[in-house]
Structure 1
Amino acid sequence: MQNRTPRIPQQPAPNHAEFGARLTVELAAVVTGARRRALRDGDRQIDTAHLLHSLIESDPEVRASFEGGPQLAKVLGYLVQRSIGYGLRWQGSVEDTGAVPVVRDPGSAGRDTGVEGWSPSAVSAMAGAHERAELRGDERAGGLDLLAALATDHECRAVEVLVRAGVDAGQLAARIAGASGQEWQGTGG
């Protein structure tokens, strides 16, 4: 019997050995969880909703950035339903908001090709997380960096989930930036 589960590359990050060294241990676990979720959902690529789900499940700082338990529970409810509800329309499609150029390496812009196993929007979010970390003088991106990057791309699947759950993504990103004292606006639109 042939396995129908799509294969997602098992490297710690898209096509770049150094990328894993630029993540906190917690964010590396988020990436692993997102990859596992994508495989379980039968998706060909890790997308921003996979990253958001994994972030919420594993990072207490990310959970604390939401406006209370009911809001967080609603977001998790939408994420859990993704494989049986509105998320079905995402299967077989590539998440690409067009908000930023597609890059091969989440740490460098300017290349025009995609990353195998990652949606262009997820790659852009990881690049945004690194940008945010670098702006505060940190070599490693953390969970809040990624959440802020996700929340600034108003066309990505993660923001669609947030909006459906009643979360104002712009306010979420602003709260994270305000808590860290950063003026970073992200690369999304």
Structure 2
Amino acid sequence: MPSRIPRQPEPEQAGRRTDNDARLGAELAAVISGARRRAVRDADRQVDSAHLLHSLLEYDAEVRDVFGDAPRVARLLGYLVQRSIGYGLRWQGSVEDSAALPVVTDTDGLSPLAAGALEHACARAARRGEPAAGVDLLAALVVDARARAVEVLARAGIDAGEVYSRIDSRPGSFAGDSGC
């Protein structure tokens, strides 16, 4: 009988291209590594946008600041934790895909939507002449209504459009930067 747990990439090869990507800041590389560990622990086939959102909240204080007060962040983390025991179980065995972000064919263990969001984040940061940061990835995650991260935000009572507006209103952000 085949295993019900999807085959994961070999640890030394998983994320090699993404984790060593010079376009990523050190903090964002740590976020992606954390999301990979969470996906393996949850027995998910790929890192999806909800894994990335969870990892962003854990590792990046600037991302937490975008969401505002501590109770709001705690509520959001609560929904993300429930993913592996509740509503997120229906995501297992399916691939997160997007219509809003460009298609990325070399996903390196990321869902197509998550890979597209990472590319979007890198392009957004490149326009500033900087490595991609957590808020760049957060901005890329919330622009696609099909993202699992957006579904989690909605369950926590947080509007993805409001999150994007908060990011765009930050100093150094490119207003209206919704696409690559």
Tell me if both proteins adopt one fold, taking TM over 0.5 as the criterion.
yes
Unpaired segments of 5 or more residues in structure 2? none
1:156 correspondence with 2:147? yes
Give the match's secondary structure for 2:104. Answer: coil
* AA at the equivalent of 1:78: Y
In the alignment, the residues of structure 1 paired with residue 58 and residue 77 of structure 2 have an alpha-carbon distance, to the nearest angstrom, of 9
Larger mean CA deviation between 73-82 and 93-102 belongs to: 93-102
Would the aligned equivalents of 1:129 and 1:146 in 2 still touch at CA under 8 Å?
yes
In the alignment, the residues of structure 1 paired with residue 108 and residue 60 of structure 2 have an alpha-carbon distance, to the nearest angstrom, of 26
Identity %: 53
Structure 2 residue aligned with 1:10, among 1, 9, 14? 14
Would the aligned equivalents of 1:7 and 1:39 in 2 still touch at CA under 8 Å?
yes
- 1:158 Cα shift? 0.4
Q: 1:128 to 1:101 in 2, by over 3 A?
A: closer
In the alignment, the residues of structure 2 paired with residue 184 and residue 6 of structure 1 have an alpha-carbon distance, to the nearest angstrom, of 40
In the alignment, the residues of structure 2 paired with residue 116 and residue 64 of structure 1 have an alpha-carbon distance, to the nearest angstrom, of 29
Q: What per-residue deviation string (whole Å, max 9, x for no partner) do you get for residues 48-86 of structure 1?
A: 000000000000111111121111111100100101100
Give the match's secondary structure for 1:65. Answer: helix
Would the aligned equivalents of 1:132 and 1:184 in 2 still touch at CA under 8 Å?
no
Q: State the match for 2:163 in structure 1.
A: 172
Q: State the match for 1:117 in structure 2.
A: 109
In the alignment, the residues of structure 2 paired with residue 156 and residue 13 of structure 1 have an alpha-carbon distance, to the nearest angstrom, of 23
Q: 1:50 to 1:13 in 2, by over 3 A?
A: farther
- 1:13 Cα shift? 3.9
In the alignment, the residues of structure 2 paired with residue 80 and residue 58 of structure 1 have an alpha-carbon distance, to the nearest angstrom, of 15
Q: State the match for 1:110 in structure 2.
A: none
Unpaired segments of 5 or more residues in structure 1? 105-113
TM-score norm. by structure 2 comes to: 0.88
In the alignment, the residues of structure 1 paired with residue 117 and residue 108 of structure 2 have an alpha-carbon distance, to the nearest angstrom, of 15
